[in-house]
Amino acid sequence: MTSVMPWERPGSKIDDRHLQRLAVIYVRQSTRQQLVDHQESTRLQYALVDRAVALGWQADRVLVIDEDLGKSGSSAVARTGFQRLVTEIGLDHVGLVLGIEMSRLARSGRD
């Protein structure tokens, strides 16, 4: 029996134009204390690389942005990783963004 990959299933939303772009994994915790107290969350976020590969991205097309570890999400100004993510998306370089708690990606509509 041949296994069918998720992007090969009828009705899949992932197609070649997505796979030709980057899969971006955005990793962050709001404070240094969270990094210490919630190491499992950080590990799970880095494990999203394997998820992107399982969805069809080549490992060299998966970009991990983790510069914002230990930085508050109250503003995007000091979060260079968030700024990089927005730039890559704006330049149409990104086919997929994965992260944990994506609803907390930005706390203000302006960001």
| Given the residues 30, 41, 72, 103, the one annotated as active site | 30
Q: How far apart are CA 1 and CA 64, in angstroms?
A: 34
Closest residue by Cα to residue 23 from 57, 47, 51: 57
Q: What is the 3-state secondary structure (H, E, C) of 9-58?
A: CCCCCCCHHHHCCEEEEECCCCCHHHHHHCHHHHHHHHCHHHHHHHCCCC
Catalytic, 30? Answer yes
Reduced to 3 DSSP states, what percent helix, strand and coil does the chain have, rounded to the nearest 5? 40, 15, 45
> Looking at the annotation, which residues are catalytic?
30
